[in-house]
Structure 1
């Protein structure tokens, strides 16, 4: 089955609504057993604070634990998730923080209003032909010099599979894994500048390597020749 344009948003939202409580019960803090991942977020927080006091958007915020960690690091942050069920659980767990329903492909945010964008394992549900739209939104909403941190499943080549069941629930969820080179190329096309990549081997029950890519919006955009 192939999703029609933008149907992937509905399928992703419905799927995560179905598994939200079970997922959150199993992963109340997805960073608890990953010290490298935690420290990469700390580095991201330092980069953001050094450039701007504008807030960070945690895109695909899930149960809200990553936004809570950034908040503890002194970064103003709010979460956006395509799943109303996930947003409700994040609000319940972290009432001091703001979470709302939305999509990275159409951010309801003003231009140049974000100091940073964090997208941990959320671009994995965005089809290839919608990545340029999402990254164009990143560029539009970031302040000059604003930072991006992506985390995603990776491998020696790009791949895709569809998940139809999890935690005993029927779902319809696409999962895309990509090489760092693929994601860096898409970021560059959107006017963002990748500058650091880290690849770690699978840990525990993970079956694919994890990649992390840092990028930033140039502080001074190049002058385009007419």
Structure 2
């Protein structure tokens, strides 16, 4: 990571500068959508992650563990494998990597769960309804022509909300620290499994 090797700069100070410059660039640029920070060594990558989380005020929440969670992950992995044959998109690969990674973070599940919700909603909506933020797009599923169960829309909102809270800065993190814990992330996994099953059923019906 820039300046933290032989120069031994404080990773937290470097990260603050990088985030400020990156944010300014993203606000100015009409073409740049993402900026990736890369570290060549695993310990530097961990320092980068910790510094970014601290700067953004991301709360640390432990992933839930146990037989129930393992069972849910097993189901999710199976659904992903079937969906990849029907609709091989990147978010499914990202989610599968998280499911199979014992060191995956709640942040990873939060953001990937939100991306999954966005992908599913876009797939369900007609092209003219795919504009806008995820909240607005989920609301468009209320239109009678889509015939999406109410519970599915609520599950999609759960994934959207948790993902937003993990991705956003200090204010959201402070609120979340008093309300989200491992049990909430367990609910998130249940939501992921349920919307994946719905999506699989819809894809299978389309192909039949």
User: Normalized against structure 2, the TM-score is what?
Assistant: 0.29
Higher relative contact order by CA 8 Å / sep ≥ 6: 1 or 2?
2
User: Normalized against structure 1, the TM-score is what?
Assistant: 0.28
| Greater share of helix | 2
| Greater share of strand | 1
